[in-house]
């Protein structure tokens, strides 16, 4: 297969922009896993556009039933890599849940999630939400508007339940962040109680992404946080209303990653570089020329072997708009970002943010020094692999020098207060100070003991 790929490449050199550097691959037949979400797009595009094949890779993409099955597949070698929740490699590496050393050389995207509530809850929230001159609700919508709804549920003797996709998912942390920013306690974890519902005002539980709309429609949950197209699906089906996107919670927040085992990366360094090169090219294609390729991307993703939702549903968010209610379509050009703003560079500060949220809600039970956060981030996020792959693409004439943060120390500049819904700035270099600045959540010296916060 390596020889066939080399021959095919040689016969097309005159039509390519530059001589591609063919790496000596340790493994050329690979299987990657994904969950049916639009942010798996770099994998689908790298396959459909031939970028994997350009690198001599013969890739099979396989949808997985849920995030745990996907993680287990990467750990046991059934999968060579996967579209992952950013929290999964971090949690596995520190031994929260399944223990394994997973690394990422490539962040897949920014933004892309939303929080949706049922029609019943929306009708109860709406009187507490300011309106614009045209009568539409003013965004972003604060979780303060949900507080009287929860109080009414409690008065009626009913729990208020919301779904998220996995305990260490961005969705769990974003939903908790939004709730806490409105004064609502989403609950804590402890080593003895991993439900995350200790002292909770709202009860969060796991629901796989494609099942979110049906679970909402059945009344099992009253709302959820999920990636696309499952918020827009609720609008199309007329069963719910997205109240906020994660872009409104934290502008250009980090989302999924491409995860591989540390063992795979060490045994297959050239293959890892080749995969990263292909994914970078796919991300570039998705964002180039002001998202000019997004309609084609929607058609790819709508195929049953990928996301499998109707193109009209996927199109609602992938092409730069977002529909909150039927007819209330607003421009959100950065709802899905795959390459802009150095989206693919695996920043240590992104990893640190996830770790701070694990600590905030008790998944990390004890205080850790700032240096610990830095060490864990550097053991999982691998910008050096990303930049080596990027350098090869630039040298091959397939990417621009200006599109990569060559001089970065791995930390983004602090996120200003204006870009985060609760007005609390974030600096990944000072995680403990950041944790202590958040109004709801564990602080330095605090632990969860039984049903109480001590310290």
Cis peptide before 140 (omega within 30 of 0): yes
pLDDT above 60: residue 18: no
What's the rounded Cα separation, in Å, for the pair 15 and 46? 19
pLDDT of residue 20: 58
For the chain, percent of residues with pLDDT exceeding 70: 95
pLDDT above 60: residue 16: no
Q: Mean pLDDT in the chain?
A: 94
pLDDT above 50: residue 9: no
The band of 7, judged by pLDDT with boundaries at 50, 70 and 90, is: very low
pLDDT tens-digit series, residues 135-178: 999 999 999 999 999 999 999 999 999 999 999 999 999 999 99
pLDDT tens-digit series, residues 327-344: 999 999 999 999 999 999
Domains in the chain: ranges and CATH: 2-111+255-322+334-346+382-403 (3.40.190.10), 113-252 (3.40.190.10)
The band of 316, judged by pLDDT with boundaries at 50, 70 and 90, is: confident
Q: What is the mean pLDDT of residues 371-397?
A: 98
Q: Phi then psi for 181, rounded to 5 degrees?
A: -65, -20
Q: What global pTM score does this model have? A: 0.94
The band of 127, judged by pLDDT with boundaries at 50, 70 and 90, is: very high
pLDDT tens-digit series, residues 392-439: 999 999 999 999 999 999 999 999 999 999 999 999 999 999 999 999
Q: What is the mean pLDDT of residues 102-121?
A: 98
Query: 348-360 and 87-94 are packed helices; what angle lies between their axes, rounded to 10 degrees?
Result: 70
pLDDT tens-digit series, residues 222-271: 999 999 999 999 999 999 999 999 999 999 999 999 999 999 999 999 99
């Amino acid at each position: 297969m390596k020889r066939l790929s080399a021959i095919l490449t040689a016969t097309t050199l005159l039509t390519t922009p530059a001589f591609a550097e063919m790496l000596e691959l340790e493994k050329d037949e690979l299987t990657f896993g994904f969950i049916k979400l639009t942010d798996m797009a770099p994998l689908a595009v790298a396959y459909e556009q031939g970028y994997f094949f350009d690198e001599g890779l013969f890739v099979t993409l396989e949808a997985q039933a849920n995030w745990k099955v996907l993680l287990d597949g990467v750990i046991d070698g059934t999968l060579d890599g996967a579209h992952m929740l950013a929290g999964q490699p971090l949690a596995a590496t520190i031994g929260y849940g399944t223990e394994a050393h997973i690394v990422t050389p490539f962040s897949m995207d920014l933004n892309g999630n939303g929080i949706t509530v049922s029609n019943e809850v929306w009708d109860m929230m709406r009187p507490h939400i300011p309106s614009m001159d045209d009568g539409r609700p003013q965004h972003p919508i604060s979780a303060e508007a949900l507080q009287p709804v929860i109080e009414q549920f409690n008065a009626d003797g009913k729990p208020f339940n919301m779904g998220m996709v996995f305990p260490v998912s961005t969705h769990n942390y974003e939903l908790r962040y939004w709730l806490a920013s409105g004064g609502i306690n989403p609950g804590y974890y402890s080593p003895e109680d991993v439900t995350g519902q200790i002292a909770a005002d709202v009860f969060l539980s796991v629901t796989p992404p494609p099942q979110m709309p049906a679970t909402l429609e059945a009344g099992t949950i009253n709302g959820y946080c999920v990636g696309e197209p499952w918020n827009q699906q609720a609008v199309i089906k007329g069963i719910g209303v997205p109240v906020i996107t994660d872009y409104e919670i934290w502008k250009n927040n980090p989302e999924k990653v491409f995860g591989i085992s540390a063992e795979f990366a060490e045994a297959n360094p050239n293959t890892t570089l080749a995969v990263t090169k292909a994914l970078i090219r796919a991300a570039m294609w998705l964002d180039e020329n002001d998202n000019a390729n997004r309609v084609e991307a929607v058609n790819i993703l709508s195929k049953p072997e990928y996301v499998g939702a109707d193109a009209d549903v996927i199109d609602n968010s992938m092409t730069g708009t977002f529909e909150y209610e039927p007819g209330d379509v607003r421009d959100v050009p950065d709802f899905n970002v795959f390459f802009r703003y150095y989206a693919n560079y695996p920043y240590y500060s992104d990893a640190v943010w996830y770790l701070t949220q694990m600590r905030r809600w008790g998944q990390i039970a004890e205080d850790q020094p700032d240096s610990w956060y830095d060490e864990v981030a550097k053991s999982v996020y691998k910008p050096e692999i990303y930049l080596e792959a990027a350098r090869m693409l630039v040298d091959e004439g397939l990417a621009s020098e200006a599109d990569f943060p060559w001089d970065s120390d791995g930390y983004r500049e602090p996120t200003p207060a204006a870009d985060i819904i609760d007005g609390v700035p974030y600096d990944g270099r000072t995680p403990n100070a950041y944790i202590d600045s958040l109004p709801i959540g564990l602080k330095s010296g605090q632990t969860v003991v039984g049903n109480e916060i001590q310290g």
